[in-house]
Amino acid sequence: MSEISIEEAKRQLMIACPPLYAYIVLNFNYEGVTENSTAYINHGAIILKRWRSDDDYSWFICDIGNSDMYAAIKDFKENFNDDKYTEIYFIGNIPENYDTNGQTVRLKFTCTGKMYDDKDIKILDKSDYSQMTILTNVPEDDSSRAKVFAGNIMQDYEYAEASNVQVLGIFDSSKLAGAVSIADRWGELMHVNNIFVSKDYRGRKYATRLIRAATALHPGVIYTYECHVSNLASIASAKSADYTLVGTFIAC
């Protein structure tokens, strides 16, 4: 395992997968993080350690194409014996024979912002509070996943201004049927945070329309979208909105 500069690590990530590079590198843009971070290359994989403070940090282990990720992860565990939170990124799909050991597997999609016009969608403001309250008050027979996303989207709406988030809603006539939130990552990357569609409107491509509308807010900017590997509806919505799968990651 060889220590390399952060700039060299960024360069290799950029060559391997620009969208993944953009997402990971922007995680190093917090104040003071870049100066304190370290990087390694091992078995063709880039390993990044991001410091937030003296005792708070996280690891990123990144495939950069033809990396022996099995060996890189094994060496990482043997060398660092670290129980800190780690994210392991694979370009494309996770290898079929990779043992996730019960860890959460998520997919990351990206798209470049482009124009899209939908008269039923608008940016929500404070006057839409009553509609958002009704939308996110999900019925008892809805799924646990839906309840989580309803809570997340309401939180994004309530703290939108403070957290640099925009929330868009899709309407059926005057009724709010769903919403999506996007977060601005320092003007260089937009992230689709959360999406929720009322149970009465699922299966009608509302999620796809919301994602497309969110992508139209910042043409030419890279967007990222992620979801659990088992969330087939979310995966289908991303693909229908012209997002491309760029990587799989495991949150340890």
Domain spans, the chain: 2-91, 112-243
pLDDT for the residue 170:
98
Domain 112-243 has CATH 3.40.30.10: no
Tens of pLDDT, residues 39-50? 999 999 999 988
Please indicate whether residue 18 or residue 191 has the higher confidence score (pLDDT): 191
When pLDDT is cut at 50, 70 and 90, the band that residue 35 belongs to is: low
Evaluate if residue 31 carries a pLDDT over 60. no
Please indicate whether residue 59 or residue 27 has the higher confidence score (pLDDT): 59
Q: What is the mean pLDDT of residues 133-155?
A: 94
Q: What is the mean pLDDT of residues 27-47?
A: 78
Residue 102, φ and ψ in degrees, nearest 5: 80, 5
Total-model pTM: 0.83
* Distance from C-alpha of 183 to C-alpha of 167, rounded to nearest angstrom: 9
Q: What is the mean pLDDT of residues 5-11?
A: 89
* Distance from C-alpha of 84 to C-alpha of 71, rounded to nearest angstrom: 19
* Distance from C-alpha of 41 to C-alpha of 178, rounded to nearest angstrom: 44
Please indicate whether residue 237 or residue 34 has the higher confidence score (pLDDT): 237
Least confident of 64-68, 183-187, 203-207, 218-222: 183-187
DSSP codes of every residue in 101-155: TT-EEEEEEEEE------TTEEE--GGGHHHHHHHTS--TTS-HHHHHHHHHHHH
Evaluate if residue 212 carries a pLDDT over 80. yes
Tens of pLDDT, residues 105-121? 899 999 999 999 999 99
Evaluate if residue 84 carries a pLDDT over 80. no
* H/E element, 21: helix 18-26
Please indicate whether residue 19 or residue 208 has the higher confidence score (pLDDT): 208
Evaluate if residue 188 carries a pLDDT over 80. no
